[in-house]
A and B are shown apart, each in its own frame.
Chain A
Amino acid sequence: MNKRILIVDDSFYMRTMLKNMLTDAGYDVVGEAANGQQALEMAVATTPDLITLDVILPDNTGLDVLKGIRQQQPDAKVVMCSAVGQETIVNEAIENGALAYIVKPFSEERVLEIVGSALQGDGSPV
């Protein structure tokens, strides 16, 4: 079975690009959430193998969403996504269980490398 991924990003453009990259590589994108509320609901509904999580969201920060998801599913694998400038939040996210950090703008190789190793890893940061 293909690995199942949930994309959380408030930009439709970003989600589409990520979805194309992941789908082309043979992953199943099981959901796309545009805000924190949707993200939490979809994480429960779809139980994905991995979540890519944007740091800045309209309703709450990615950090709150990360904590919420990890509370619901302590084993959830989450990779943070952000443009430069949010390193503080990203570091805090890693301390709160995020596995890695993809810097926007990202290359396809970089995304697949990080997603691949996060999925294969034992749950420690990659």
Chain B
Amino acid sequence: MTAREQEYRELFMAEALEYYDAMSRHLSELERNPQDVGALNELFRLMHNLKANARAMGFVDMGEVAHKMETLFGQIRGNERTFTGSLVTLTFRAVDILGNMIRAVGAGQDSADAKPLLENLEQLIQGQEVVEATEAPTEEEADADAARKLELSDLVYIPVKKLDNLLNLVGELVIDRDRILTLAAELGHPALQATARHLFRISDDLQYSVMDVRLVGAGVLLNKFPRVVRDVATAEGKQVELVLAGQDVQIDRNVLQLITDALLHIVRNAVSHGLETPEARQAAGKRATGRLIISALTERDDVLIQVQDDGRGIDTEAVRKKAVRKGMITTEAAAALDEQEVWALLFEPGFSMADKITDISGRGVGLDVVKLAIDSLGGRLRVNSELGKGTTFTLVLPTSIAVKGALLIELDERAYAVPLLHTDTVLALPNDQVFAVGGLLMTHIQEENVPLVPLRQLLYSEGDELLPRATRSDLPTDGSLLQVLVVSYNNRRLGLIIDRFLRQQNIVVKSLSKPLDTIDLFGGVTLLGSGQLCLVLDVPALTRLFLAKRP
């Protein structure tokens, strides 16, 4: 069953159970007061809806029973008959049977033969009194009726915002859990260690369960492309046949959100630059209409999204020459690169293959932005091409990601994120609140002397070299305030001197992949709304570095 079929089935079930409850209620009202027009109208409408929905799902018997019931209630409403006699018994029985049918669908079972009921209903519709009302419930059925519990719909709808919040909380929990694990190990208390291990397993399960809830079908994004492709093709005078595949592949909704622009760029690029004009294609002995396939598939823990065209392919020589012309690489180095390495140049900043500037693409911002977006998710971008045959871009994406709150700061015109978990306070200090002790700048916060260190020095310090000794002469002389972010780790506070504060926001953190994962000052990367890549500072590592290097 596809994800969409599954969704339809769940919606059908939820609504059918609601209808069943309402039918039972209105039927009782009608029995008490056969003139109750409101109840009659509702019964008619509910039967009508159940009929339409059941038929759409292919549940023929259920649709047929509902149809005959609709007809009967229509007759009562049209004053062709009254709600009395065997009609009352039979409609109650019929609603019970509908309920059983709906529950059977939910349980994935076959429902009992509806033929006797359908024949009786038909007799009633024809105006004949049913002498032998459908046989009384068998003992088994009576037992089932007695055991029946009240049922609420199994389906709830949750706004993405609430899910984000839930994942945030889980993220925080996981961080605390890791801290408790470390502490337990440090303390060496056996009972505490056992509890910590249990906490680890439970929170791990919790994290996966929450991530699972956030998965949606890739079709949510893919299905937006027919329109995009049509528009670009029209603007560029191309003929394109678009094929979509893998709409049911499950992926985190926020991953989809983050790659939307990247995928849009690749697809536009494929139509605009990958595919040739109908004339050029025919001259090359190809079909005038180009083919573009956008597909999603699962590969182990990753989701692959591929954009495949049967266009002109990448001219490797042209890329080499252009890279040399743009001064990105020397002629000799370019000659030494293999095809894959040459194609990788396409993702370098400032490289754009477009010979003519169009509205669609070729404005110099190009595949490098795509690569950044995918990097920030911890994904990879692959390209494969054959000259004259076509090009395939493959986005290798993680199925899921984690979100957490962070403070964004700026240093040397570059943004960094600091997880809120480790931020203590932010300060703007005039010089007279800063003093120098033993080669360190300090300030006084809540009766505590907190060391201040320029973040720049920590990030750029090399090897085992100690930090330079600081004096008050290092302070700004133009009267500007010192921007300080106080972070805390293990109850130790450290003031990082930065250029300025940007804002607080939720970020999606992705751990660095090899070989960058050995740089321990950074806990990961994130992509800002602006498309800018932002490193996430690892406060524990920064603190440790400061302690090791303090003069």
Interface set of A (CB-CB < 8 Å, partner B): 2, 10-14, 16-17, 20, 23-26, 56-58, 82-86, 104-106
Q: Does B97 contact A (CB under 8 A)?
A: no
Contact of A105 among B42, B44, B52, B70 (CB under 8 A): B52
Q: Does B56 contact A (CB under 8 A)?
A: yes
Task: State the main secondary structure of chain B at its contact with A.
Answer: helix
Contact of B52 among A23, A24, A26, A83 (CB under 8 A): A83
The reply to whether A13 and B55 contact each other, CB–CB distance below 8 Å, is no
The CA of A126 and the CA of B48, in the complex, are separated in Å by 25
The reply to whether A12 and B15 contact each other, CB–CB distance below 8 Å, is yes
Q: Does B514 contact A (CB under 8 A)?
A: no
Interface set of B (CB-CB < 8 Å, partner A): 4, 7-8, 11-12, 14-15, 42, 44-45, 48-49, 51-53, 55-56, 67, 70-71, 74, 219, 223, 226-227, 230
The reply to whether A83 and B226 contact each other, CB–CB distance below 8 Å, is no
Given contacts A58-B42, A85-B70, A104-B56, contact A16 B8 (CB under 8 A): yes
The reply to whether B70 and A13 contact each other, CB–CB distance below 8 Å, is no
| Interface-centre pick from B15, B48, B74 (highest chain A CB count, 10 A) | B48
Closest 10 A-B residue pairs measured CB to CB?
Answer: A105-B56, A83-B52, A104-B52, A26-B227, A105-B55, A13-B11, A11-B49, A24-B223, A13-B15, A56-B45
Contact of A56 among B14, B48, B56, B67 (CB under 8 A): B48
The reply to whether A14 and B226 contact each other, CB–CB distance below 8 Å, is no
| Nearest residue, chain B, Cβ from A25 | B226
Q: Which residues of A contact B53 (CB under 8 A)?
A: 11, 13-14
The CA of A84 and the CA of B44, in the complex, are separated in Å by 14
The reply to whether B15 and A11 contact each other, CB–CB distance below 8 Å, is yes
The reply to whether A14 and B56 contact each other, CB–CB distance below 8 Å, is yes
Min distance, Cβ A76 to any Cβ of chain B, angstroms: 24
The reply to whether A20 and B52 contact each other, CB–CB distance below 8 Å, is no
| Nearest residue, chain B, Cβ from A83 | B52
The CA of A104 and the CA of B49, in the complex, are separated in Å by 10
Q: Which residues of B contact A24 (CB under 8 A)?
A: 219, 223, 226
The reply to whether B56 and A16 contact each other, CB–CB distance below 8 Å, is no
The CA of A85 and the CA of B52, in the complex, are separated in Å by 11
The CA of A2 and the CA of B67, in the complex, are separated in Å by 37
Min distance, Cβ B466 to any Cβ of chain A, angstroms: 62
Contact of B55 among A10, A56, A86, A104 (CB under 8 A): A104
The reply to whether B12 and A13 contact each other, CB–CB distance below 8 Å, is yes
The reply to whether A58 and B67 contact each other, CB–CB distance below 8 Å, is no
Instruction: List 13 additional A-B contacts (Cβ < 8 Å) besides A10-B49, A26-B226.
Output: A11-B53, A12-B14, A13-B11, A13-B12, A14-B49, A16-B11, A25-B226, A56-B48, A56-B49, A58-B45, A104-B56, A105-B55, A106-B56
Min distance, Cβ B263 to any Cβ of chain A, angstroms: 17
| Nearest residue, chain A, Cβ from B11 | A13
Given contacts A83-B55, A85-B70, A105-B52, contact A10 B12 (CB under 8 A): no
| Interface-centre pick from B51, B56, B67, B71 (highest chain A CB count, 10 A) | B56
Q: Which residues of B contact A86 (CB under 8 A)?
A: 48
Min distance, Cβ A64 to any Cβ of chain B, angstroms: 13
The CA of A27 and the CA of B84, in the complex, are separated in Å by 49
Interchain Cβ contacts under 8 Å between A and B, 18 examples = A2-B227, A10-B45, A11-B15, A11-B49, A12-B14, A13-B11, A14-B49, A14-B52, A14-B56, A24-B226, A26-B226, A56-B49, A58-B42, A83-B48, A83-B51, A83-B55, A105-B56, A106-B56
Given contacts A105-B52, A105-B56, contact A13 B8 (CB under 8 A): yes
Contact of A85 among B15, B67, B226 (CB under 8 A): B67
The reply to whether A85 and B71 contact each other, CB–CB distance below 8 Å, is yes
Min distance, Cβ A75 to any Cβ of chain B, angstroms: 25
| Nearest residue, chain A, Cβ from B70 | A85
Min distance, Cβ B237 to any Cβ of chain A, angstroms: 20
The CA of A105 and the CA of B49, in the complex, are separated in Å by 11
Contact of A23 among B7, B8, B42, B223 (CB under 8 A): B223
Min distance, Cβ A103 to any Cβ of chain B, angstroms: 9
The CA of A53 and the CA of B316, in the complex, are separated in Å by 56
| Nearest residue, chain A, Cβ from B56 | A105
| Nearest residue, chain A, Cβ from B48 | A56
Q: Which residues of A contact B49 (CB under 8 A)?
A: 10-11, 14, 56
The CA of A114 and the CA of B524, in the complex, are separated in Å by 52
The CA of A117 and the CA of B319, in the complex, are separated in Å by 47
Min distance, Cβ A44 to any Cβ of chain B, angstroms: 25
| Nearest residue, chain A, Cβ from B4 | A20
The CA of A56 and the CA of B41, in the complex, are separated in Å by 10
The CA of A12 and the CA of B56, in the complex, are separated in Å by 13
Min distance, Cβ B211 to any Cβ of chain A, angstroms: 24
Q: Which residues of A contact B48 (CB under 8 A)?
A: 56, 83, 85-86
The CA of A17 and the CA of B10, in the complex, are separated in Å by 12
Q: Which residues of B contact A85 (CB under 8 A)?
A: 48, 51, 67, 70-71, 74
| Interface-centre pick from B53, B70, B219, B230 (highest chain A CB count, 10 A) | B53
The CA of A83 and the CA of B70, in the complex, are separated in Å by 11
Q: Which residues of A contact B14 (CB under 8 A)?
A: 12
The CA of A82 and the CA of B219, in the complex, are separated in Å by 28
Q: Which residues of B contact A82 (CB under 8 A)?
A: 52
Q: Which residues of B contact A2 (CB under 8 A)?
A: 227
Min distance, Cβ A110 to any Cβ of chain B, angstroms: 12
| Nearest residue, chain B, Cβ from A84 | B67
| Interface-centre pick from A24, A58, A84 (highest chain B CB count, 10 A) | A24
Min distance, Cβ A62 to any Cβ of chain B, angstroms: 11
The reply to whether B52 and A11 contact each other, CB–CB distance below 8 Å, is yes
Q: Which residues of B contact A56 (CB under 8 A)?
A: 44-45, 48-49
The CA of A16 and the CA of B271, in the complex, are separated in Å by 32
The CA of A104 and the CA of B52, in the complex, are separated in Å by 6
